[in-house]
Structure 1
Amino acid sequence: MSRDTFNGWVGKDLSAADGNLVFEEFEPKRWEETDVDIEITHTGMCGSDIHTLSGGWHAPEFPYVVGHEIVGRAVRVGSKVNHIKVGDRVGVGAQSDSCGECEFCLSGNETVCDKWVQTYDSRHLNGDRSQGGYADHARVPGRFVIDLTPYPNIPSELLAPMLCGGITMFSPLKRYGAGPGKKVGIIGLGGLGHFGVMFAKAMGADEVVVISRNKSKEADAKKLGADRIIATSEPGWEKTYGSTLDIIINTADSTTMPFSGYLRLLRPLGTIVQVGAPDGNMPAWSGFALFMKQRSIAGSIVGSRADIKEMLQLANDKEVKTWANFFPMTKVNDAIKAFNRSEARYRIVLINEKHVH
């Protein structure tokens, strides 16, 4: 196996989370004939990138190259990779490998494999560190490289954020039956929540409701397709709208969110799915709000490769379009600062101009 170097924007200490990445060489995983090298054209900026650089979820292991919403061209394809050829438009999301042999991998549920490999902040199966897409190139196990040629209606700059942000919402919406006959709630209208609104509408839900602290984003919510907005700052909101929603996807990552109130918005037998990950424990919640109506709490993380392809086909056919702000990758530190000021509205995408022809 060969070892070589790539160039990218490297986080070297906690200041990286404030916009202090350094452009320099880094080592990708050692080349294997199961790998694909990608010349990166676009990378989405995900909240996970900042949580990782700041050490919010766990003690950081610098240096990092973050970014797991990667789109580009395949420039080297291993001899054991059959579904990708050099020159193809390809993408990689938050997961880049799994064991491929356990009951979960064999049943298409590779996201819960004990040996799942994150596209960065992880270890490949050969022991090398995984590094992400704030870079000129990425090296990824070929099994998790998605061929994007079947989705010509989605421009790369709008597709990249779907590979984590989009699939994080699409997967639980699909799993818990969003569609005709269902009323869906989306907690938080941000980078994840705006995808939730669009995909729930595209899947045919009878009603899509945004739940937010206030109604400052009501106009955006309705442009995205929401039917109404519930403001949790209004007195009595949980009683006024109690037992009205079948499925709720919660993107909020606050340790003080009113989780018991969210539960009370569910109809009997309804499910709330947690996808937001706080820098700490979830808030306490009332058991009575849960079991008196036989409501359920579930968790979800990204989605399988099959889910990603299904999501992209829906976005391609229904013209679902990411709301995005664009920055040259050379201005990545400015992009991080804009993200930290909550200016994404609703995803930031880095464009590697040297590779965009």
Structure 2
Amino acid sequence: MSNDSHFEGWVGHDKECLGNMKWESFQPKQWRETDVEIKIECCGVCASDLHTARSGWGPTRYPCVVGHEIVGTVARVGKEVSGFKIGDRVGVGAQSDSCKSCSACKAGQEPWCENGIVGTYNGDYKKTDGSGFSMGGYAKYSRVPAHFAVHIPDGLPSTVAAPMMCGGVTVYNPLKSNGCGQEGFKRVGVVGIGGLGHFALIFAKALGAEKITAISHTHSKEELARKLGATDFIASADQKPYAAHKRSLDLLIVTNNNADMPIADYLTLVRPHGKVVAVGIPEEPCMPTPILQMAFTGVFMGGSAIGGPKIIREMLELAAKQNLKPMIEERDMKDANQVVNDMEEGKPRFRYVMVNKDYEPVQAEARI
């Protein structure tokens, strides 16, 4: 059972905390009657956790508990909350609050809230309800505004749903919102076959893309990419790898974030008025914007980040309906320090999900 003022989890105290987190009590956000409290079954490990833990995207507020691919059961429900009851299986992704009143929020585009978002960790609720700072899911419990919790469909395993809460929706949202599988956007490419890229291949196929081109540095992942849904493959280390694929795509999702990406070459792969969408976020500035190439290819280039509760629910329903199976490896939550070290070394194929081994779901009759 949680304590109203303190939870337990893996706490980072400075930018050197990767591999050195401490299991101890921490203070969650203050309780509001618009919140739900979740007993955590499992939490996916996202590259964002590493970036934030080491202050790679700017100064992190310490102490900090990372983890924003959370799945568990509702243990407490605020008096002003509807649609959730104790014992429901739910998930929370990378965003835990927004103003909910601006034009973006009203359109279901909460990640682009005009007044700024609150992350599920390292976020400050002073933007919204003044309830303190957000702490993440490398823990026993999580407390979040109910608006950003979503039901997990029956039949979808918790450890499959967890990495979809951020990693999955990060690629699903730009695929769906840019018409993947619809007329004019049936030819889709994916750069980078890793945690995000393998989700992109799975969802591109599920959404009805007819031609799916995987792009990686060498041919080492070609067989795997084809098993995940790719119908074509480009190895960038080959001699003149892009020439034979000019204008062969309608939409290209770029999941890498290395500084030497050949963006100008990627633009040649896409038809005029097609789109290139970047979803990998680097810690340092990346390559200069190739405006000349954009102009002469007629290709639109932009970015995307996560997705709001509505799009997450849609993604989970599709995953359950089609029995989608991302590549995950379950790890014990007690081994979190080793897990993040392994993540840093690029060992997962392709997503780690940490599981609280002593977890027992909250029953409907339970009371806090």
Compute the TM-score of the two structures, normalised by the length of structure 2.
Answer: 0.93
- Alignment correspondent of 1:40: 40
Q: 5+ unaligned residues in a row in structure 2: which ranges?
A: 362-368
Secondary structure at the counterpart of residue 32 of structure 1: coil
Amino-acid identity (%):
41
Answering whether residue 170 of structure 2 is matched by residue 168 of structure 1, we say yes
Q: Which moved more, 1:194-203 or 1:115-124?
A: 115-124
How far, CA to CA, are the matches of 2:289 and 2:38 in structure 1?
A: 45
Answering whether residue 17 of structure 2 is matched by residue 13 of structure 1, we say no
Aligned residue pairs, count: 353
Could you tell me which amino acid in structure 1 is paired with residue 33 of structure 2? Answer: E
Could you tell me which amino acid in structure 2 is paired with residue 272 of structure 1? Answer: V
- Alignment correspondent of 1:54: 54
How far, CA to CA, are the matches of 2:166 and 2:80 in structure 1?
A: 26
Could you tell me which amino acid in structure 2 is paired with residue 112 of structure 1? Answer: W
Q: Which moved more, 1:175-184 or 1:273-282?
A: 175-184
- Alignment correspondent of 1:260: 264
Please report how far the alpha carbon of residue 59 of structure 1 lies from its aligned counterpart in structure 2 after TM superposition.
Answer: 1.9
Matches within 5 A, 1:218-229: 218-229=222-233
Q: Once the two structures are superposed, what CA deviation does each residue of 1:146-199 show, in whole Å capped at 9, x if it has no partner?
A: 122xx1121001110000000001000011111055110111011110100000
Q: Once the two structures are superposed, what CA deviation does each residue of 1:281-326 show, in whole Å capped at 9, x if it has no partner?
A: 1212433321113110111110111111111111011111121011
Q: Once the two structures are superposed, what CA deviation does each residue of 1:238-297 show, in whole Å capped at 9, x if it has no partner?
A: 222221111011111112211111111111111000100011112124333211131101
- Alignment correspondent of 1:24: 24
Q: Once the two structures are superposed, what CA deviation does each residue of 1:6-58 show, in whole Å capped at 9, x if it has no partner?
A: 000011122222x1111000000111111111100000000000011122111
How far, CA to CA, are the matches of 1:61 and 1:138 in structure 2?
A: 18
Could you tell me which amino acid in structure 1 is paired with residue 345 of structure 2? Answer: R
How far, CA to CA, are the matches of 2:234 and 2:7 in structure 1?
A: 47
How far, CA to CA, are the matches of 2:167 and 2:360 in structure 1?
A: 23
Please report how far the alpha carbon of residue 127 of structure 1 lies from its aligned counterpart in structure 2 after TM superposition.
Answer: 4.9
Secondary structure at the counterpart of residue 270 of structure 1: strand
Output the aligned Cα RMSD. 1.3
Q: 1:142 aligns with which of 125, 136, 146?
A: 146
How far, CA to CA, are the matches of 1:80 and 1:60 in structure 2?
A: 32
Q: 5+ unaligned residues in a row in structure 1: which ranges?
A: none
Secondary structure at the counterpart of residue 188 of structure 2: strand
Q: 1:342 aligns with which of 334, 342, 346?
A: 346
- Alignment correspondent of 1:72: 72
How far, CA to CA, are the matches of 1:241 and 1:54 in structure 2?
A: 39
Could you tell me which amino acid in structure 2 is paired with residue 38 of structure 1? Answer: I
- Alignment correspondent of 1:205: 209
- Alignment correspondent of 1:159: 161
Could you tell me which amino acid in structure 2 is paired with residue 202 of structure 1? Answer: A
Contact 1:96 1:141 (C-alpha < 8 Å) held by counterparts: yes
How far, CA to CA, are the matches of 2:225 and 2:200 in structure 1?
A: 11
